[in-house]
Structure 1
Amino acid sequence: MTEVDERAGKRVGWVELYFDLVFVFAVGQVAHGIVADPHWARAAAALGLFATLWWTWIGFAVLYNRRGDDSRVADRLFVLAGTIPCGIAATQAHHVFEGHPAIFAAAMAGVRLILAAAHRWPRAGGDQRRIGWGYAVSAVLFGVSAVLPHYGFLWAFALVQEAGFLLLGDGRNRRRGERPTRAARWRLMLTPPRDPNLAVDSAHLAERFGLFMILLLGELVLTVGTAALERPADDLGYWLALAGGLVLAGALWWVYFSSAVEIYERMLGYSGGNPALAYSLYAGGHLMPAFALLLMAAGVNLSLHESPPHAAAWFTTAGLTIYLAGTRVFATGSRHWYFTLARVAALAATVNLALLDRVLPAPAVVLVIAGWAVGAAAVTAVIRQRTRARLGEDPVAFLRQVADRRRIEPEGGGRTEGGGRPEGSGGRTEGRGGRTEGGG
């Protein structure tokens, strides 16, 4: 397989990095909300709040991916304008937990008005204007929710319709009379969109999500540092928690950046920037692992308190389990039942590490969890090395196994050529600024 040039291609803009800093402040308040009231009901509310913020961030990520340019003043101004309502929303996150979402909802409406204006800019095409109208509808829904008691339903509807017009695939790719099976949907995900304006830049999207995951990992590191500062220096628990938290963050970094980020980018590149695949891998696929980082940050923070609640260990292990499941650490691609059983057993063992808090102090539990995460990272290194090799040989077969381990049969001439690419795809692989001819 020809190596892809890593130095060329669209890069993340400086204004995007600035926006992410402001946005991470907002999602950091979600983690602090869990620490303030460590119960599962609060964690569930935090997930809903995080999803609302997440799709707001997705809107700017997709906007800049498709048509953003740091050299254009208007593009930079739209992103900078978005930091103002996002900053306001960050300061109001705790009020949402208390049942007073008015200002937060108004801020979310303001963000979507900015996104609607950005997509309706005069040089935008018909597809961009359609997205602009969708964001205008979301702005109305969030605005109305500021004065209604049952705001959650309106927020959910707004987010679902945003997901529909932002990254879902081109329905024209589906042939008449074709049964909309899961196999057919996943096969179409490797087909480039007919409208080039709908394609996403795989290199930029991979880099943008990778940088955002780094910032979320930073929330865990900051939690360890700030919480440990409140403990006396001669306390053994201080050093155990400090070491465990940093080792845990490093292991989580290894799990994602040593293999997962490369595999996701390659798969999206093989598809020619298919928006439906981008939705599956990034917008939807990263939601739970990203929230898991905040849940672990809250759990580690609580573990460093003088009298840590019983939920502290469970937040940490549940977050680690969600993260490992979301990044598919133990997914081997094998169809044998015993591999599936081993994967389920490993995830069950991960979440049940919280039971150790009955016999060990909380900082020691954090250290044990960190050691378990290191082991998972080691397993990842072995499994993903084989996965990367199989991806280069036959991306269609790889996607089939990643999706649901069902055999995708070619339909109506959809046979594969040149290393497993769908016929008609041209055998071209878009990578980080480069391309590989001949299907890899």
Structure 2
Amino acid sequence: MTDVDLETGAAHGKRVGWVELYFDLVFVFAVGQVAHSIVADPHWARIAGALGLFATLWWTWIGFAVLYNRRGDDSRPADRLFVLAGTIPCAIAATQVHHVFDGHPTVFVAAMAAVRVLLAAAHRWPVRPGLDQRRISTGYAISAVLFAVSAVVPNGWGIWAFALIQEAGFLLLGGRHRHRGERTTARERRQAMFDGPRDPNLAVDSGHLAERFGLFMILLLGELVITVGTAALERPADDFAYWAAMVGGLVLAGALWWLYFTSAAELSEKMLGLSGGNPALAYSLYAGGHLTPAFALLLIAAGVNLSLHESPPAASAWLLTAGLTVYIAGTRVFSAEPGRWYQRAARIAALVVTVNLAHLGRVLPAPAVVGVVAVWGVGMTAVSTIVRRRAIDSLGDNPLAFLRNRTAPPSGSRSARHG
């Protein structure tokens, strides 16, 4: 059982193991190939396909993250071997990303099916008390069959989506049981999310999960840094526009890092720790909640990459600003307090301005747009740091009261006056 410090909300449990870090390196290679596919064909249809591929890889990674969080031990050879074995089909899938876009997904889906066979075996053996291992193992076996079937069915994206949805259900949401016909209110569901799991063995180690996702986000940010650095190999030393864009790209990467670790990460870890490791809250904050900001980092990396080309396409600025907008919205760094209507309007306006910075590409060269977006990102980071610090201070040791304050109508409003 993980111990939780009620003053800080931090959980003192297991740490991320070296085998997990090695596994993450393989996955970063895979998602890097997804980013490169966007650069190769920067159109919205390709971006939609890239999101589908990324979601497939993301939920595969989630499977191993949750496995090690609940059952893994870096000192047990069996746990290490399952993770190391998983790197092989994942690496094969990474090499096949571009073939999927060319209409040849067979090897990719076969690799995804093989990964799920490993996850089914890892959750079934060795036997551990408490966890419903048979249900999770059976779920992954079903997913393996679905991915295998999609290899021989035309346009199997729908089958992929169904497989991923049912994985989300049994992996982190399966612990919520409700009698047939029983209805619950939003308040009751919120209360249940912070009551902790009924079975302590189903609890998620919040400290480990926060560290695991934090390290993975750093690796995704590394894709942006690599993009900026690699472009230097192909540009002359006296190209001032490139150097300005390189500085802007690195400043933006630093702002995104700051935005996540000083705003989103700390609050998420504290809330999960105070909930007693509730799996449903872990899904909301991490498994599902981190999907869009993680993909946004790939959009930003692709936008910076294209901006550093000799003839940048118009899509480069839109990828950059849309990625930053999705990242800010996905990390929910401005949703800390209920505020009055004009404060909520200001948050929406900030997102609208962020995405529309792409219009600067009509009057400025692409490297200059990168610089402007970097400065804007720094400003958003400064504001969000102040907002999030207030949120963490107001959270205290009662997350339910914190959420009620966020959703309650502001004093002086019509609903408050007539309540």
Aligned to 1:23: 27
Aligned to 1:294: 298
1:313 aligns to 2:314 (yes or no): no
1:113 aligns to 2:117 (yes or no): yes
Deviations 1:179-205 (A, max 9, x none): 333332222110111111211000000
CA distance in 2, matches of 1:275, 1:112: 21
1:145 aligns to 2:150 (yes or no): yes
SS at match of 1:305: coil
1:232 aligns to 2:268 (yes or no): no
| Of 161, 164, 171, the match for 1:159 | 164
| Of 329, 332, 335, the match for 1:325 | 329
1:222 aligns to 2:236 (yes or no): no
* Pairing 1:27-426 to 2, within 5 Å after superposition: 27-125=31-129, 127-168=132-173, 170-172=175-177, 179-392=183-396, 394-400=398-404, 405-406=407-408
Amino acid corresponding to residue 157 of structure 2 in structure 1: G
Preserved contact between residue 11 and residue 207 of structure 2 (Cα < 8 Å)? no
SS at match of 2:335: coil
CA distance in 2, matches of 1:108, 1:406: 44
Amino acid corresponding to residue 293 of structure 1 in structure 2: L
Mind listing any 5+ residue stretches in structure 2 that lack a counterpart? 410-419
CA distance in 2, matches of 1:79, 1:341: 46
1:12 aligns to 2:37 (yes or no): no
CA distance in 2, matches of 1:255, 1:55: 24
CA distance in 2, matches of 1:139, 1:106: 9
CA distance in 2, matches of 1:233, 1:141: 52
Deviations 1:36-59 (A, max 9, x none): 001011111100000000000000
More off after superposition, 178-187 vs 193-202: 178-187
Structure 1 residue 242: Cα displacement: 0.7
Structure 1 residue 338: Cα displacement: 1.2
Q: 1:343 to 1:193 in 2, by over 3 A?
A: same
Deviations 1:74-98 (A, max 9, x none): 0000000000000000000001111
Mind listing any 5+ residue stretches in structure 1 that lack a counterpart? 408-440
Amino acid corresponding to residue 291 of structure 1 in structure 2: F
Preserved contact between residue 248 and residue 370 of structure 2 (Cα < 8 Å)? yes
Structure 1 residue 406: Cα displacement: 4.9
Aligned to 2:414: none
Preserved contact between residue 332 and residue 339 of structure 1 (Cα < 8 Å)? no
SS at match of 1:41: helix
Structure 1 residue 401: Cα displacement: 5.3
Preserved contact between residue 26 and residue 87 of structure 2 (Cα < 8 Å)? yes
CA distance in 2, matches of 1:177, 1:86: 42
Preserved contact between residue 296 and residue 315 of structure 1 (Cα < 8 Å)? yes
Deviations 1:165-191 (A, max 9, x none): 01115333x588753333322221101
Preserved contact between residue 114 and residue 144 of structure 2 (Cα < 8 Å)? yes
Preserved contact between residue 169 and residue 193 of structure 1 (Cα < 8 Å)? no
Deviations 1:120-168 (A, max 9, x none): 1041345122101100000000011111112101100000000000111
Preserved contact between residue 7 and residue 397 of structure 2 (Cα < 8 Å)? no
CA distance in 2, matches of 1:361, 1:61: 42
Structure 1 residue 7: Cα displacement: 9.8
Q: 1:14 to 1:252 in 2, by over 3 A?
A: same
Preserved contact between residue 10 and residue 206 of structure 2 (Cα < 8 Å)? no
SS at match of 2:343: helix
CA distance in 2, matches of 1:79, 1:113: 12
CA distance in 2, matches of 1:40, 1:4: 43
Preserved contact between residue 183 and residue 406 of structure 1 (Cα < 8 Å)? no
Q: 1:89 to 1:397 in 2, by over 3 A?
A: same
SS at match of 1:194: coil
Preserved contact between residue 9 and residue 273 of structure 2 (Cα < 8 Å)? no
CA distance in 2, matches of 1:179, 1:335: 31
More off after superposition, 64-73 vs 221-230: 221-230
Tell me the percent identity.
73
CA distance in 2, matches of 1:281, 1:361: 38
Structure 1 vs Structure 2 CA RMSD: 1.8
CA distance in 2, matches of 1:20, 1:202: 19
Question: Number of aligned pairs?
Answer: 404
Amino acid corresponding to residue 62 of structure 2 in structure 1: I
Q: 1:46 to 1:363 in 2, by over 3 A?
A: same
More off after superposition, 221-230 vs 296-305: 221-230
Aligned to 2:417: none
Q: 1:33 to 1:226 in 2, by over 3 A?
A: same
Q: TM-score w.r.t. structure 2 length?
A: 0.93
Deviations 1:11-51 (A, max 9, x none): 00110000000110000000000000010111111000000
Preserved contact between residue 10 and residue 269 of structure 2 (Cα < 8 Å)? no
Deviations 1:237-285 (A, max 9, x none): 1111110000000000000001311110110011100000000000000
Preserved contact between residue 237 and residue 363 of structure 1 (Cα < 8 Å)? yes
Q: 1:169 to 1:144 in 2, by over 3 A?
A: closer
Aligned to 1:424: none
